[in-house]
Chain A
């Protein structure tokens, strides 16, 4: 009997292997190898592809610590990540609540589709659409002047708010989706029980609904914060001169200055900082979740 069980689980593993292999092969080829190469690059003086002589060095990392500019940019990017995440919570959480608890059936599907829609459009197209909306004499400007009796001049283009708007638009679906999943899992009878005990809607939100949907909020925040801190496309196109962030500097090293070793080093410093932040936050988040 025991032998059969062992054979059974071994054959289970054997049949699971072909299913696991593609994913792990892909992860190895697509992520682990390039990332290892980048770690290697980050300790080099020169890019080996140029044919010039190169040697190992720690200078690339030292550059970060010796120049205040990188610190300033990193802090600006962290602030950007924090602000975008907060706006995504403010905008995404109520939407997720309405989707999970108010709409039912077909209307829910339709609204869900509208939330997912940004995912299906090209990122660059999305950003340039915002550029058309936000610039002086653009769609927002024209529309507001058509409605308002007095003349106003909205020129959000190439500003910090424009970067925020673009990033929030790109990332808010993550918050809606993760929060929707946890909110939907909250049994309606819990809300009814709370109301039968005399709790107002606000009290229910504060004491039952938000605590129970915290895992979704945390997951959404992590999914948004990390890429936003390293983002470069939205800051560059919508931020213009004001859109210099840590991510755009890294991009510059790769595509403009061709200083790959410095770009790689800056990337890994960002990775380390983000990991430290998540590690520090996780006990707190675990407690509230």
Chain B
């Protein structure tokens, strides 16, 4: 087991910069999610760490040892592929045994290790089956057992749950997390599913166009996004744009929005504020209980009822603000109704305008 350090890693394919000066420290024993849209470079980064491809420049270290020129078969990593990549010509047990047997381990050792790995993924009785006789979730578990049975230094997962249906995916998330805790292996997990990244990982790295946008624990990125992209890609966010006053922004119509978190900016620059839909309170009264709260008026253009909560789309000065309200049985607002939106400055994040935003 070992941590992984990636420093100033760059990789281009022709004119396309797949990775552009990426540095991340993956702590020993941590569960790390690399999150980003397709083409963001997250899979390229994983393949660099695995050793399928070598960087143009930069450094990769596993357990303190530089490996950027070491081929994959010598890196002692475990990898789970999106399509599982089980060998169709072998039984489940032989698939799991593969890594130990190419290493030349004794037959008895292999048999007991394989059984232990299959028990760990709760497939102890299916060793004799062929991969095509298994369900998607079972294949996933076999792929995981095969990857960890060799006791790799780091476990790499390339969108491993992408091919599973929703219910099974949630089961596997819990299962994967349990196994990872049990063996304590450093795990790097590539996904484009923000919910998966939030629920499973200790830390998240958000990538975009080959660059690391933001990196940190899920709560930190969710509560204090540093860019509009991070705010909108991880979770839902309302973005209000204007000129900064230093501690907030002034909208085009002169309304001041106070921010309790985020960047410190020189007054006058272009900036935006992000606020999560579930942090906004919606009501019809104009009286205010909290004089410091941010306040906007608008009109409900649409309401989507989703059982335990409702989403309101509130139009205001040409912008639509999304508000999510828990179904407490009290609030009942109709489309077309004029409303007042309130939220605290602490729930507002000030973000510097960046050139890469649309």
A187 to B76, CA, bound (A): 22
Those of A199-257 within 8 Å (CB) of chain B = 199-200, 203, 207-208, 211-212
Contact check, A208 vs B81: say whether CB atoms are below 8 A apart. Answer: no
Q: How near does chain B come to A182, taking the closest CB pair, in angstroms?
A: 12
Contacts of B146 in A (CB 8 A): 193, 197
Segment of B83-91, B236-244, B289-297 engaged in the interface with chain A: B83-91
Q: How near does chain B come to A84, taking the closest CB pair, in angstroms?
A: 28
Contact check, B85 vs A212: say whether CB atoms are below 8 A apart. Answer: no
Contact check, A187 vs B83: say whether CB atoms are below 8 A apart. Answer: yes
A195 to B88, CA, bound (A): 16
Q: What mask results when residues 168 to 205 of chain A are scored 1 for a CB within 8 Å of chain B, else 0?
A: 00000000000000000001011011111111100100
Contact check, A189 vs B85: say whether CB atoms are below 8 A apart. Answer: yes
Contact check, A197 vs B102: say whether CB atoms are below 8 A apart. Answer: yes
| Nearest B-chain residue to A199, judged by Cβ | B102
Contact check, A193 vs B85: say whether CB atoms are below 8 A apart. Answer: yes
Contacts of A200 in B (CB 8 A): 73, 102
A203 to B72, CA, bound (A): 15
Among the interface residues B71, B79, B146, which one has the most CB atoms of the partner chain A within 10 A? B79
Contact check, A194 vs B83: say whether CB atoms are below 8 A apart. Answer: no
A203 to B100, CA, bound (A): 12
Those of B64-113 within 8 Å (CB) of chain A = 71-74, 76-79, 81-83, 85-89, 98-99, 102-103
| Nearest A-chain residue to B156, judged by Cβ | A196
A203 to B150, CA, bound (A): 17
Contact check, A196 vs B50: say whether CB atoms are below 8 A apart. Answer: yes
Contacts of B87 in A (CB 8 A): 190, 193-194, 207-208, 212
Contacts of B50 in A (CB 8 A): 196
Number of A residues, CB within 8 Å of B: 17
A289 to B87, CA, bound (A): 14
B52 at the interface (CB under 8 A from A): yes
How many residue pairs, one in A and one in B, have C-beta atoms under 8 Å apart?
64
A193 to B157, CA, bound (A): 12
Contact check, A198 vs B85: say whether CB atoms are below 8 A apart. Answer: no
Contact check, A198 vs B81: say whether CB atoms are below 8 A apart. Answer: no
Q: How near does chain A come to B202, taking the closest CB pair, in angstroms?
A: 23
Number of B residues, CB within 8 Å of A: 25
A196 to B17, CA, bound (A): 25
Q: Which of A194, A196, A211 contacts B77 (CB 8 A)?
A: A196
| Nearest A-chain residue to B97, judged by Cβ | A197
Contact check, A211 vs B89: say whether CB atoms are below 8 A apart. Answer: yes
Q: Which of A187, A190, A196, A208 contacts B73 (CB 8 A)?
A: A196
A203 to B99, CA, bound (A): 11
A115 to B89, CA, bound (A): 29
Q: How near does chain B come to A107, taking the closest CB pair, in angstroms?
A: 16
Contact check, A187 vs B102: say whether CB atoms are below 8 A apart. Answer: no
| Nearest A-chain residue to B72, judged by Cβ | A195
A198 to B78, CA, bound (A): 9
Q: Which of B52, B88, B98 contacts A197 (CB 8 A)?
A: B98
A208 to B52, CA, bound (A): 18
| Nearest A-chain residue to B102, judged by Cβ | A199
Contacts of B82 in A (CB 8 A): 189
Contacts of B74 in A (CB 8 A): 198
| Nearest A-chain residue to B82, judged by Cβ | A189
Q: How near does chain B come to A206, taking the closest CB pair, in angstroms?
A: 10
Contacts of B85 in A (CB 8 A): 187, 189-190, 192-193
Q: Which of B71, B78, B102 contacts A203 (CB 8 A)?
A: B102
Contacts of A198 in B (CB 8 A): 73-74, 76, 99, 102-103, 150
Contact check, A196 vs B78: say whether CB atoms are below 8 A apart. Answer: yes
A76 to B48, CA, bound (A): 56
A194 to B97, CA, bound (A): 11
Those of B128-177 within 8 Å (CB) of chain A = 146-147, 150
Contact check, A208 vs B89: say whether CB atoms are below 8 A apart. Answer: yes
Q: How near does chain A come to B190, taking the closest CB pair, in angstroms?
A: 14
A190 to B79, CA, bound (A): 11
Contact check, B81 vs A212: say whether CB atoms are below 8 A apart. Answer: no
Q: How near does chain A come to B186, taking the closest CB pair, in angstroms?
A: 15
Contacts of A199 in B (CB 8 A): 73, 98-99, 102
Q: Which of A189, A195, A212 contacts B89 (CB 8 A)?
A: A212
A276 to B71, CA, bound (A): 49
Contacts of A193 in B (CB 8 A): 79, 81, 85-87, 146
| Nearest B-chain residue to A214, judged by Cβ | B89
Contacts of A187 in B (CB 8 A): 83, 85
Q: How near does chain B come to A217, taking the closest CB pair, in angstroms?
A: 14
Contacts of B83 in A (CB 8 A): 187, 189
Contacts of A208 in B (CB 8 A): 87, 89
Contacts of A212 in B (CB 8 A): 87-89
| Nearest A-chain residue to B50, judged by Cβ | A196
A194 to B88, CA, bound (A): 12
A189 to B77, CA, bound (A): 15
Contacts of B103 in A (CB 8 A): 198
Q: Could you list some 5 contacts between A and B, CB below 8 A?
A: A189-B81, A189-B83, A196-B72, A197-B147, A198-B103
Given contacts A193-B79, A199-B99, 10 further A-B contacts (CB under 8 A): A189-B82, A189-B83, A193-B146, A194-B102, A195-B52, A196-B78, A197-B147, A197-B150, A198-B76, A198-B102
Mark A residues whose CB is within 8 Å of B: 187, 189-190, 192-200, 203, 207-208, 211-212
Q: 3 nearest interchain CB pairs? A: A197-B99, A193-B85, A189-B85
